[in-house]
A and B are shown apart, each in its own frame.
Chain A
Amino acid sequence: METQARFNWRDNFRLGLLAAVVALSLCAIGVVGTFAQRDIIGGVVSLGHVFLFGAALGGGYLAAHRDADGGTGRALLGGAFIGFLSSLPLVVLALVAEPFHLRQFLPNVSPELLEMLTLGQGQMPGLLILVAVVTVLGLVGVGMARLPSHVRRPLLTGLGVVFLIGLLSETIALAWGSHGLGLRIRRFMFASKGLSIPGVLVVFAAATGLNVWWNTQGSRVRQRVAALPPRRQQVLRWGGIALGILILLILPFLLRRYLSEVIVNVGLYILMGLGLNIVVGFAGLLDLGYVAFFAIGAYTMALLTPSEYGVANLSFWTALPFCVLAAVLAGIFLGVPVLRMRGDYLAIVTLGFGEIVRILVLSDFLAPLIGGAQGILKIPNASIGGLEIVHPEHLYYLVLAGCLLAFFVSWRLRDARLGRQWMAMREDEDVAEAMGINLVRTKLLAFAIGAAFSGMSGAIFAAKLSSVFPHSFSLMVSINVLCLIIVGGIGSLPGVVVGALALVGLPELLREFAEYRLLMYGALLILMMLARPEGFWPSEVRKRELHTESAPTGGGSPIGSA
């Protein structure tokens, strides 16, 4: 108890230092500066500010969270200390930047960044305000952690939604159109960049209110639904599904061209993600060369249609099955030699396979046949009844059809015999075999079906761009797909969608991310593993696996101690 009552300098010092290092390095590598252009609240708060100040806020929150049963006074002191400590390096940075010409070594320490650090108030008063602001943020972090959860949750939800909408305000504002009521709503809610102040208030109030309502009334609503007769419940469920499908169908009209383009790209990744999810998530085979099947699908499309290097004269629709078939054969071709490999070895060999395919399509040796580094141009677009599918709004339906098919197939397979075979194999190959599961067939089917989805994605990709280039098939694509299923939740079908939206959709909307994509992935993956290792939308088995200590049952009968 003695130690409990005292202020824990060491922990607080460590957290403060950590926050300082985070803020300082985000400044030094240019994240803060780059994102300063992206306003969340017009003219007030930018994404750069979030990166600059987030660390102090997080540090205070963590400190109070760790020392959950300490007194409030001590916690506040800790938060202020952490905030203060983490502001000092920023002050030093601002002070030494000009006299020492720091910009020579750290090109990102620009006058704009210094302006931001001093909050545009001139050096001395500005820096003092900076220290004060960061210190207060440390306190706010503590406050957040100390609020009772029925207050904190709505608050955080409100802030989160404001953050998201502010972040995407550029695209969201566009969706309101440029005349009539739409325009008026847009003018009210959005500044020229970011949300307007009234917009912030409206969004925050709505999100917070909804959250409060759900927290207090949600269980009652759920009970009410559960009490309905089964027929009515079924009607409700199908109604929900129908509504979802309806929204999916009219989405391009809501999103217009640019966003449709983004969604099409997301969709191509969803298609790949669903395929890799079968291989990695269902069957537990770590495949790092997954892009190879995407490439094979794309190149098959290029070669079978009347393109530059086309050897056949097929239409998109007749060529499509062959693209899928080619990918499937490649999947089996890869599968056979790796049948006996597990874990790391499998990962390395598949990685090699992906690179081999990329190098082959890039090679001069095959260039006379498939164009080498120049790629293949003039691939015809897909068409339906004479209508060419060129615009993203139309391509959307093609991709949607592919995704729905893949989703349906994955979903049915998961609950079928094959799904159980995969699950058994993933859990323990030896036991699975002893139980009568044909490992060879089961593994090859995973590779083949996974490859099929990727091949389909590649084929649509080729028709979409009317061209293929080797550089579209780099290792990065495999890593993207793997990351998105990890972030979404390995083995979970909705998780693939969530992961693709977060890792493919968001960076498309925030072009500045491109430069920091890998950094963001790394940070996101580490944070995920710490805070939510099962992913955003985990599958049942993963959820159980990672939370066994706290919830040993999968539902159903209570457990007595025997």
Chain B
Amino acid sequence: MPMLELQDVHAYYGNIHALKGISLTVEEGEIVTLIGANGAGKTTTLRTISGLLKPRQGKVYLEGEDLDQYKAHEIVYKGVAMVPEGRGIFAKLTVAENLDMGAYSRRDKKGIAEDLERVFELFPRLKERRNQVAGTLSGGEQQMLATARALMARPRLLLMDEPSMGLAPVLVEDVFDRIMEINHEGTTILLVEQNAHMALQVAHRGYVLQTGEIVLGDTADGLRQNPMVQKAYLGME
């Protein structure tokens, strides 16, 4: 049974038809990437999975369980955490308070302390700056914080929305290294990216989204070889 499965999902904003029948699967332990141009519906797909937006048609299954019956905050308790687009950290709170908020859905004090150690190992920069107000962090640090905060919920499925947005190339590589590391530690990841080049390097499989529809799905290698992907998303002629 796949960790996550979307079956013919249609989603709307008012009468804007944003997702026109998305079907995809993510197996446990995988990194799956979703690439596509601006406005293709990548963020919308993640919002539908995390319950912030309800599909008007179609189903979202988490380990075989229909998520339709759950509200957004309940889905977090099911082990799905999101690193939102544009980072979405609490700018006025400190790094430590942000991380604390991330563990909000949990009650095991000991586990939380362990995970705090773990994310500080993963992002030593955050440890140095644990008392800094998050809004004053650099862009890259804010991205680290957003990721670290999502990890504090100890998710089984991590949804990441464009973690490389606005970062310098060196930092982008760093972020993707961390993503692989998180994955190695056992977290399944669905990664939305515009930076197809990097995304296809770390992912096992990928889907290409175009104006609300999946036009292609393959292994990462397969997608990299695909002439259409090469032309449209990898900038090769």
Contact = CB atoms under 8 A, between A and B. Distances in A.
Nearest to A555: B131
A562 B52 contact: no
Contacts of A560: 128
Interface string B52-77: 10000000000000000001111011
Interface residues of A, number: 29
Contacts of B105: 435-436
A559 B90 contact: no
A560 B129 CA distance: 9
A321 B130 CA distance: 44
B73 to A, nearest CB: 4
B94 interface: yes
Given A420-B100, A548-B133, A552-B132, A541 B93 contact: yes
A421 interface: yes
B90 A557 contact: no
Contacts of B24: none
A541 B92 contact: yes
B46 to A, nearest CB: 10
A439 interface: yes
A410 to B, nearest CB: 19
Given A435-B101, A436-B73, A557-B128, A430 B52 contact: yes
A435 B90 CA distance: 11
A305 B141 CA distance: 61
Contacts of A215: none
A424 interface: yes
A548 B104 contact: no
Nearest to A434: B82
A399 interface: no
Interface in B70-119: 71-74, 76-77, 81-82, 84, 88-94, 100-102, 104-105
Interface string B119-134: 0000001001111110
Interface in A513-562: 541, 544-545, 548, 552-557, 559-560, 562
A436 B93 contact: no
B131 A427 contact: no
A179 interface: no
B73 A437 contact: yes
Interface in A307-361: none
Among B50, B93, B125, find the residue whose CB has the most chain A CB atoms closer than 10 A: B93
Interface residues of B, number: 34
A434 B149 CA distance: 11
B136 interface: yes
A435 B93 CA distance: 15
A431 interface: yes
A433 interface: yes
Nearest to B78: A436
A431 B94 contact: no
B128 A559 contact: yes
B101 A553 contact: no
A438 B76 CA distance: 10
Nearest to A438: B73
A10 interface: no
Contacts of A555: 131
A433 B84 CA distance: 11
A375 B73 CA distance: 46
B175 interface: no
B135 A430 contact: no
Interface in A382-440: 417, 420-421, 423-424, 427-428, 430-431, 433-439
A559 B93 CA distance: 16
B72 A433 contact: yes
A526 B50 CA distance: 44
Given A434-B84, A435-B101, A435-B102, A428 B50 contact: no
Nearest to A560: B128
A427 B170 CA distance: 31
B153 interface: yes
A326 B128 CA distance: 50
Interface in B138-186: 149, 153
Contacts of B52: 430, 433-434
A420 B104 CA distance: 8
Given A431-B84, A552-B136, A557-B128, A437 B104 contact: yes
Given A430-B52, A434-B50, A557-B128, 8 more contacts: A431-B84, A431-B89, A431-B90, A436-B74, A436-B104, A438-B73, A554-B133, A556-B131
The 3 closest A-B pairs by CB, nearest first: A436-B76, A556-B131, A436-B105
